Amino acid sequence: MSERTQLDLVLRVHDQQIVDWAGRRCGNVDDVAIDGEPGGSATVKGLLVGRDATRRRRPRLLAFVAGPAFGDAPEVEVSWSEIEDITQVVKLKKDATELGLGAGDDRAAKWIERIPGS
Amino acid sequence: MTEYRFSKDSESLQSLATEGSLLADGVVDGRTTSAFVLTHAQELASNTEKLASVVASTHPETGLAEKMMRLAALAREAASQLRTLAGHPSDAAAAARVRSALTNTADAAEKLAKSL
Amino acid sequence: MTKVFQISLGVLAAIGGFVDIGDIVFNAAAGATLGYQLVWAVVVGAVGIMVYSEMCGRVACIAKRPVFDVVRERLGYKVGLTTLLASQFVNAMTCAAEVGGVAIVLRYLFGFPYRPLIAVALLLLLVSVWFLPFEWIERVFGFGGLLLIVFAVAAVKLDPNLGALGHGLIPHIDTPSPLIWCYFAVGILGATFMPYEVYFYSSGGVEDGWVPPHDLKLNKLTAIAGYALGAVLSISIMVVAAELFVPQGIEPGFLGTVALAAQTPLGEAGLLLALLGMLFAISGAAIDTSLAGAYNMAQFFGWEWGKYRKPGGAPRFTVTWAAFFGLAFLVVISGVDPIFVTELSVVFSVVALPLTYVPILLVAGDSNYMGAHANGRLASTLGWLYLVAIVVISLAAVPLLVLTNMGEG
């Protein structure tokens, strides 16, 4: 992780693209999981990725629109310790599949790869 | 059918007939392709037929009945000429006759539009 | 990627986006109805899309973010999702219009029945995007679209009234129907500001890995040269329509009418060049819109994306652009007139435009993202001026559509 003393969770983490160690795009930061109660200390547990994480943020009229997931997990929590660096993207230390991310692309790939030229 | 609508429909017929005449002109001079003439003449004919149908089926305001009948007849005649052109897209002699007929139709439609 | 290929990215986006089926018919209709009165609208629209496109390219180069990445971040999920849905609706409509346009032009070229040609058009587009690498898509459709220069040649051949053309650079109303003038002005501005052009352009910039300072200069050159060329082509179409159609009272309602405008002064060669130019430009626009739709979805939801990858390397992105073509096919085969769909898509894209323009304007001017490359005084002034213009036309678009009966009075 780059050395810094402050990190803007809203501007620099929320809604950022996530890429795994190999540079594969595997989701956006849909929410941030924070441990702790108001009045006490709070720590950032990790990142939440998936349509369940965005449920609270969707407009009421569009609550049914989660985005075609093609088999993505409803919600994955990526521990803060799995993050390699945060720049224009959130870069992870491990492979997307190991962390349960990008399942939708893996599933769609099985169909696409049957077509010549893929 | 109001006077305004009649005027607009007359102008539409004038436009379609003039365009058809321009298309036929290309065949006469051998400066176009059969595929283009066939396709575009069919498009123009189809729109002209629709116009004829709409004009013939609309109730006219007082004093417009005779003019409406005349406009519908002109439109049907123009559509027929355009179908002829579509059927003979490389026949210069046929195209020359169609060009002449459509030019007359366009002039007649323009006179109708201005007669109000 | 060499400089020539990089400039061709802008040429494709400019030709395919600037001169698509909507521009062709709208500029011809404006010329036939109002003569030269709306030449200024083409110029103002061209400068506007240059400003928008340059900002998008700069954001792609410095912040490494394409448009919908920025939209979600700056507008938040709620508004961002609404923006996405609105943009995808417009993309889908535009794609349908372009696919229909390709089938229409194929019919003019070969004379076969229309409905089978819709399937042929779909197949050609699917195969092109599936098999051709990004650079070849640019070369084939970008440079093929340049055949539309035949309209510039036709315009010169018709010996246009240069005084009237010059007078057209100054906004003035010389018609008994000011509302129709307003409708066509909004339509021309809207058609030049079709946002799918910049979705495609900015995504290409991120894929291409643009880096400063070299690519920043290239971005500016591409935006200016590409859209300037597009403006010349659009004005040429307006000129031929004004010179040929106004005196004869012809109201262009078909793509064939516009092709006739090249055939009349230039003969069979002019006709064929016009039709081929239209085929490539409209096909390019169809590809732009389907890929733009896929880029938007993938970027908003965080999927893998990219045309530089093989289809299997970005699976959901691939499924999405193919789905756009599939949806376009279903719309066109149902019998809806593609030109009617185009006019609607231009109007609705104008309504949704502020939602994608604002985040880019904010990010391009934000030194937290852009460092020393944030908007300077000129870019900032133009950027905010155009935002005002965009908001005005977005509010006026639908009322004018209704009040003028789509420009027919």
Q: What is the CATH number of the domain that holds B7?
A: 1.20.120
Instruction: Answer yes or no: do C81 and A62 touch at CB < 8 A.
Output: yes
Instruction: Determine the pLDDT at residue A67.
Output: 57
Q: Establish if C162 belongs to a structural domain.
A: yes
> Among B15-19, C51-55, C309-313, C394-398, which is the least confidently predicted range?
C309-313
CB-CB neighbors (< 8 A) of A65 in chain C = 81, 85
- C349 vs A7 pLDDT, higher one: C349
- Asked if C146 and C7 touch (Cβ cutoff 8 Å), the reply is no
User: Shortest Cα distance from C91 to chain A (angstroms)?
Assistant: 17
Whether the complex's predicted ipTM is more than 0.85 is answered with yes
- Would you call A108 an interface residue with chain C, using a CB distance cutoff of 8 Å? yes
- Asked if C129 and C290 touch (Cβ cutoff 8 Å), the reply is yes
Which residues of chain C from 368 to 387 reach within 8 Å of chain A, CB to CB?
Answer: 368
Asked if A touches B (at least 3 Cβ pairs < 8 angstroms), the answer reads no
- Asked if C129 and C291 touch (Cβ cutoff 8 Å), the reply is yes
Of A30, A58, A113, the CB nearest to C312: A113
Q: Which pair of structure tokens corresponds to residue A112?
A: 């696409």
Q: Please, which residues bridge with residue C125 across strands?
A: none
Q: Establish if C274 belongs to a structural domain.
A: yes
Of B15, B30, B43, the CB nearest to C249: B15
Domain A9-112 fold: SH3 type barrels. (2.30.30)
| Residues near C201 by beta carbon (within 8 Å), at least 6 away in sequence | C9, C10, C13, C53, C56, C57
Instruction: Determine the pLDDT at residue C309.
Output: 80
Digit-coded pLDDT (tens) for C114-133: 999 999 999 999 999 999 98
Instruction: Determine the pLDDT at residue A1.
Output: 45
Instruction: Answer yes or no: do B31 and C248 touch at CB < 8 A.
Output: no
Q: Please, which residues bridge with residue C398 across strands?
A: none
- Would you call A109 an interface residue with chain C, using a CB distance cutoff of 8 Å? yes
Helices (H), B58-91: 65-87
Rounded mean pLDDT, C95-124: 97
User: What Å distances lie between residue A91 and A65, A78, A100, A101, C245, CA to CA?
Assistant: 27, 11, 15, 13, 60
Number of domains in chain B: 1
Instruction: Answer yes or no: do C264 and B26 touch at CB < 8 A.
Output: yes
Instruction: Answer yes or no: do B32 and C263 touch at CB < 8 A.
Output: yes
End-to-end CA distance of chain A: 36
Tell me phi and psi for residue A91, to 5 degrees: -100, 135
For chain B, the C-alpha Rg in angstroms (whole number) is 14
Q: Sorting pLDDT into bands at 50, 70 and 90, what band is C310?
A: confident
Distance of CA A60 to the CA centre of its chain: 22
Rounded mean pLDDT, C258-263: 96
Q: Give me the long-range contacts of C155-162 (CB less than 8 A, separation at least 24).
A: C155/C235, C155/C236, C155/C239, C155/C240, C155/C243, C157/C265, C157/C266, C158/C239, C158/C240, C158/C243, C158/C244, C158/C265, C159/C243, C160/C239, C160/C242, C160/C243, C161/C36, C161/C243
Query: Which CATH number belongs to the domain containing residue C145 in this structure?
Result: 1.20.1740.10
pLDDT reading at C3 higher than 70: no
Instruction: Answer yes or no: do C304 and A105 touch at CB < 8 A.
Output: yes
pTM above 0.90, yes or no: yes
Q: Following CA atoms C243, C246, C252, C256 in sequence, which dihedral angle do they give, to the nearest 10 degrees?
A: -40
pLDDT in tens, chain A (118 residues): 445 567 777 767 888 999 999 999 999 999 999 888 888 888 889 999 988 888 877 777 666 665 555 667 889 999 999 999 998 899 999 999 999 999 999 989 988 989 888 8
Digit-coded pLDDT (tens) for B53-99: 999 988 888 888 888 999 999 999 999 999 999 999 999 999 999 99
Q: Establish if C367 belongs to a structural domain.
A: yes
- B28 vs C65 pLDDT, higher one: B28
List the one residue out of C217, C200, C197, C199 whose CA is nearest residue C61: C217
Structural domain harbouring B88: 3-114
List the one residue out of C275, C324, C309 whose CA is nearest residue C90: C324
- Asked if C354 and C16 touch (Cβ cutoff 8 Å), the reply is no
Q: What's C64-120 look like in SS3?
A: CCCHHHHHHHHHHHHHHHHHHHHHHHHHHHHHHHHHHHHHHHHHHHHCCCHHHHHHH
Rounded mean pLDDT, C362-369: 89
Digit-coded pLDDT (tens) for C60-70: 999 888 888 88
Q: Establish if C408 belongs to a structural domain.
A: no
CB-CB neighbors (< 8 A) of C366 in chain A = none
Tell me phi and psi for residue C74, to 5 degrees: -85, -30
pLDDT reading at C406 higher than 60: yes
Instruction: Answer yes or no: do C302 and A111 touch at CB < 8 A.
Output: no
User: What Å distances lie between residue C3 and A52, C13, C202, C204, C214, CA to CA?
Assistant: 45, 16, 17, 14, 10
- Would you call A86 an interface residue with chain C, using a CB distance cutoff of 8 Å? no
pLDDT reading at B33 higher than 60: yes
Digit-coded pLDDT (tens) for C192-241: 888 888 888 889 888 888 888 888 888 888 888 888 988 999 999 999 99
Q: DSSP letter at C405?
A: T
Indicate the residue type of A52: D
Instruction: Determine the pLDDT at residue C2.
Output: 63
**Residue for token digits 């066939």?**
B38
Instruction: Determine the pLDDT at residue C7.
Output: 66
Rounded mean pLDDT, B34-48: 97
Give CA–CA dist A37/C82, Å, rounded. Answer: 33
Instruction: Determine the pLDDT at residue C72.
Output: 87
How many of the other CB atoms lie within 10 Å of CB of C155? Answer: 25
pLDDT reading at C294 higher than 80: yes
Digit-coded pLDDT (tens) for C6-41: 666 666 656 655 788 888 988 999 999 999 999 999
Rounded mean pLDDT, C76-89: 89
Q: Sorting pLDDT into bands at 50, 70 and 90, what band is C395?
A: very high
- Asked if A56 and A41 touch (Cβ cutoff 8 Å), the reply is no
Cis preceding-peptide flag for A74 (omega within 30 of 0): no
Digit-coded pLDDT (tens) for C47-58: 999 999 999 999
pLDDT reading at C275 higher than 80: yes
- Would you call C112 an interface residue with chain A, using a CB distance cutoff of 8 Å? no
Instruction: Determine the pLDDT at residue C30.
Output: 95
Cβ-count burial C194-231 (b if 16+ within 10 Å, e if not): bbbbbbbbbbbbbbbebeeeebbebbeebbbebbbbbb
Structural domain harbouring C207: 3-403
